Amino acid sequence: MAASKKPPSPQSKKKDLQTKKASAQKSAHGSVAKTAMKKLLVIIIVGFVAVAFVGSFAYRYATRQGSAPSIAVVNGEPISAGPDSLFANFYRQFYEQERQSSEEEELTEQKDREMMRRALDMVIQRTIILQYAEREGITVNRETVLSAIIKKGYYAGNGKTFDEQRYNSTPESLRQDIFKSEKEQLIINMFVQEHFGDVIVSDVELKSFFQFTDYGKKIDYVFLRYDDVPEETLHAFYEENPRLFEKAHVAHILIKDDEEKAQEILENVKADPGRFAQIAREFSEDTTKEKDGDLGWFYRKDMIAEFSEAAFKLKKDEISPLVRTTFGTHIIKSLDDVKVESYDSALSRIKSEYVSEHRDEVEKKVATLSKEILTEAGADSDTFDAIPKKYGLRPTTTDYISVMGQYILDENRNTPLFELMNNEELVELVFSTEIGQVGGPIKTPEGEILFKVIDEKPFDQSEYEKSKEYLANTYNTLKENYLFNDWYNHEVKNSKIVDNFGQFFPRQG
């Protein structure tokens, strides 16, 4: 995920711009540009996605029935929060994405709540679009839907794009769900294309957009990490808490809402354990069926509590009794004996678990160090490089950071600086700090950031000419989404929406 700095063509310039951190100047023009960019948020309209079984402490209370009959009602149409609902599928999709991208080993309750809120917002948006499309007569015929289903390979198998045996073995209710979701997605795609698929971008808009995205500031920074803990402390913590670093490797069969069927399958599995993988492929209602139900290696906290409790009791090749969770009924087979991960392999997890259990202590230590460095640097900013080194820290120099601040590289443009990404507070503070001045601290879940602004990027006419084609395509997409936002906000204002999110998912504590 790196990019070259000097773009010899519009195509390589496209790759370059994707890695930049462009930002608006603090002039009146820059402020207006920044405000405009924040409005040009890309609205991602996604369809029904069947995701793999994932564990989350939040979903145990997330799917319980609240005091209201529906999580929301949009123009008289109720929205369900049940385990098989579109809301639940969006939530599980967001949860899995977050789990894979986050450096945190366990997601916080606040993050889970944010994902549930996002899931509901997506369902409300989708509902409003489909209601509008129905009023306007936007629809697709059955043949088009079936063609899309076959093209996506829902029933592919045995080397064929459509395997009749697989189709016939798919429960009718699931076939109807697939048809419904594909039809709705095709309607949404048609609606977006008809209403926002052909916009005009002027030369003035394009040049302003380039001036906005191409400007940036460069900084030296130090990251004071909460998990910068002495090795002997981490070793002791690891030895004292072996359960935190145990891993299990199992496969499972999931039956969502038919316990009688699950019991019958369990009896078949116990009668012939060697057929577990085949039975998982045929009957499991989880997407891991494609991998014989294999969930890979995981820690106790990675899965919902009831599932982990059963899985970690099993020895290799043992099969569990029925295990009930909010996702349904599971039959679990151990593929390996439980093992404790080695210190070196588990080091990242050891650090995160230590920080989790000693949060107040490590935050206080970092805050004290941060204050000491800022006090010294404030007296003489020219010594910013030397001061952190006195504390065993090494400043890093970034490339130019833009207002989008999503993909920041080091000065040589070959190392992503992940610890700075997606931090709006950092971007805003950098652009309010003059060249040569020190800024911070910026608090993050992992630690605190201190920085010094060392340079800013001037406007480059030649780069503008080289990148025009890519800029036009990018801005065109942003403008389409801006127009969609305007349309959607208008529809929301004219819709009757009863939002019961707070009743379903009250804040804990």
Q: Decide if 93 is inside a domain.
A: no
Task: Tell me the one-letter amino acid at 355.
Answer: V
Do 393 and 335 share a structural domain?
no
CA 118/CA 492 separation, integer angstroms: 16
- The count of domains in the chain is 2
pLDDT along the chain (509 residues), means of 10: 31 34 32 36 36 40 55 94 85 85 72 89 95 94 92 86 86 89 92 83 82 83 94 95 95 93 95 94 92 94 93 96 94 96 94 94 95 86 80 89 81 87 88 92 94 88 84 85 90 94 74
Contact by Cβ (8 Å): 255, 265: yes
Cβ contact 404:418 at 8 Å = no
The predicted pLDDT at position 51 comes to 35
225 and 359 share a domain? Answer: yes
For tokens 């920041």, the residue is 408
Rounded to 5°, angle at Cα 489 from 484 and 495: 125
Does the model's pTM come out above 0.95? no
Position 1 scores a pLDDT of 32
Residues 332, 258 within the same domain: yes
* Cβ proximity of 73 and 79 under 8 Å: yes
**Contact, 379 vs 373, CB < 8 A?**
no
Domain boundary among 323, 347, 371: 347
Contact 199, 483 (CB under 8 A): yes
- DSSP secondary structure letter of residue 243: G
Phi-psi region of 34 (alpha: psi -120 to 50; beta: other; left: phi over 0): alpha
Return all residues near 112 (Cβ < 8 A) that are at least 6 apart: 56, 57, 58, 59, 62, 95
Sign of CA dihedral 278, 280, 285, 290: negative
d(CA 261, CA 220): 61
241 and 220 within one domain: no
Same domain, 316 and 258: yes
> Same structural domain for residues 317 and 336?
yes
* Same structural domain, 287 and 275: yes
In a domain, 255, yes or no: yes
Range of the domain at 452: 215-231+351-456
Q: What's the DSSP call for residue 508? A: P
CATH number at residue 329: 3.10.50.40
